[in-house]
Structure 1
């Protein structure tokens, strides 16, 4: 309990938790506009993601490496998952696709690039496990191939192309889930030594007691589900009033808000010269979104969405995913980093963001 109270006082992201009851009250009393609810719900999601992340670490610390790693992998992107499911249920399939692509690109370019920049400004050269980075970037490249195939089929096919693309997407989704599960077996069991840190120094852990973590985990998950529904309800109207395209909201805003807690952890680790942790968080989150969340959305769409979702992404999103993957693969293959590599990753991400901001 002492550590929990201490973290509440010392962690600024938790202070935003005051927006959670504000959003709920305004939603139930209809006391704010769509734009206000859109902004407030974004601010409310950030601390909820932080609570969820810390609670997951607290539970995982008591369950052993294998179960703990599986728990972290499963719940690591629960915030984005809740938003995606809500949007899918309301038929906002284009928003879901843009958010999936944006989450992968944001984590692999913006989060990783910012971590490299922050760490590089304090340490001249930082080392990390290049084998881990290579495996993660290889998985992202496989995902690019998996998404490009149905996209190309959708562009060149005629007649029953929608049905054909749907079947292809469903089959690829199953395959991606199998690859994800085998990846967990590979990284947590058979070849766990491949993913060990280059640093011999142990990582400082300030985890919450397991009973508090479980309670916080449940409350955070419920609140995230409610606030996500409020956010999705107002996203279209608010984005239009604010002059933002749905693609920009999905690709940039939702991934940054959903990954805010993970970003803070990655940046903090980089400042402590624990770059392996930063690389693991950034690239691991990207891989999880691509191999687990994306195919799961395809499967769930057959049960909760007005129409099934396929893996045919708009051409621009596919190329952004491909170029992001190639950029990460080219800049992370040495096992060494400087601040300038971070600048390069952020620059590529900024190009994508600027493009989507000025597109309808």
Structure 2
């Protein structure tokens, strides 16, 4: 247990774990305090995500590149997946779709931009392997095109359009998962020499024993599931109280909370001039969401949801994802960065957040 205790003692982010039992007690004592439960569950998910991330890395580091890459693909966004599954069970499909689109945009604009900004404030110009950025950007672009396809059936009559959208979404889900699998094969097996970098060295990271890492992974996953149930159960009422739409909560809050641990690692790496790691985390996580998490949720909706979920997003979400993807493609093409580039990416993200807050989907002239 020494590695875990050492991590808890030296990581201020993990000190927030004290909130986890508090939110469970408050939910038992006063289940109607939706706003309090919403705030506490958000605060509780952040350290759980950090602990989950560290346990995942420790397991993956002991399994080799191929299996380790697959584990990171499967478990890297486990927090977002658990929250989305809880929302699926509750029938909160707007929250689910907003969290998917928000995670893609948050990772490819805010996380990447803030990494460039923080790294650029310490280092005049930073270089990174643009092959990885190009791969992830290409995968994101393909996924965004897939998100545009269900809009083609939106003009059909209601009954026929809904059926066609569901069928198309299932086909797209299988296609996206296949594309992500081929991407893993390409980057981890057949052309892995293109993506190598000294920045990815983990020599300074203290690995946990396998048993401790697996046990932590299982225990934290259960806690994340419990807290996610509380979060989803309180989000609608708390959103109304705080003046936040389900789309804004999913797009901004869930996306940032779910990626908090990854952001901490990406920002720290950028400050240490390890920008390859930051770009890989930001765009790699975005591509995981687009090509793995989103299609898995579509397939899971047939098992756990009140009805099947499709990939038909509201027009503003598709537009923002497309802009974020094209921007990421353009930015990562050079393989160099400076602080001002990061500032511009963060500004684009803030524009999206302000627009979504002031003009939520379904309102007059909604985005």
**The TM-score by the shorter chain falls in which range?**
over 0.9
Q: 1:270 to 1:166 in 2, by over 3 A?
A: same
| CA deviation string 1:30-84 (max 9, x = no partner) | 2661000000000000010011000111111211222112111110000000000
Corresponding residue number in structure 1 for 2:237 = 237
Unaligned runs of 5+ in 2: 361-367
Distance in 1 between the 2:201 and 2:62 partners? 21
Deviation at 1:329, TM superposition (A): 1.1
| CA deviation string 1:139-178 (max 9, x = no partner) | 1111111010112321x22351111111111111111111
Range with greater deviation from structure 2 (198-207 or 237-246): 198-207
Corresponding residue number in structure 2 for 1:344 = 344
Deviation at 1:200, TM superposition (A): 8.9
Aligned to 1:204, the other structure's residue is in SS state coil
> With structure 2 as the length reference, what TM-score do the two structures score?
0.95
> 2:78 aligned with 1:78, yes or no?
yes
Aligned to 2:306, the other structure's residue is in SS state coil
Unaligned runs of 5+ in 1: none
Q: 1:355 to 1:300 in 2, by over 3 A?
A: same
Corresponding residue number in structure 1 for 2:127 = 127
How many pairs does the alignment contain?
359
Deviation at 1:203, TM superposition (A): 5.1
| CA deviation string 1:265-286 (max 9, x = no partner) | 0011111110000000000000
Distance in 1 between the 2:305 and 2:344 partners? 39
| CA deviation string 1:110-167 (max 9, x = no partner) | 011101101000000111111110111111111111010112321x223511111111
Whether contact under 8 Å (1:127, 1:198) holds in the other structure is: no
Corresponding residue number in structure 2 for 1:358 = 358
Distance in 1 between the 2:206 and 2:225 partners? 27
Corresponding residue number in structure 2 for 1:157 = 156
Deviation at 1:209, TM superposition (A): 2.1
Distance in 1 between the 2:95 and 2:247 partners? 7
Corresponding residue number in structure 1 for 2:185 = 185
Distance in 2 between the 1:333 and 1:255 partners? 25
Deviation at 1:204, TM superposition (A): 2.3
Range with greater deviation from structure 2 (191-200 or 238-247): 191-200
Aligned to 1:244, the other structure's residue is in SS state coil
Deviation at 1:3, TM superposition (A): 3.3
Aligned pairs for 1:143-154 within 5 A: 143-154=143-154
Whether contact under 8 Å (2:200, 2:276) holds in the other structure is: no
Deviation at 1:2, TM superposition (A): 3.6
Deviation at 1:6, TM superposition (A): 2.3
Distance in 1 between the 2:163 and 2:350 partners? 36
Corresponding residue number in structure 2 for 1:170 = 170
> With structure 1 as the length reference, what TM-score do the two structures score?
0.97
| RMSD of aligned residue pairs (Cα, Å) | 1.4
Q: 1:281 to 1:34 in 2, by over 3 A?
A: same
Aligned to 1:334, the other structure's residue is in SS state coil
| CA deviation string 1:186-211 (max 9, x = no partner) | 12111111211265976522222222
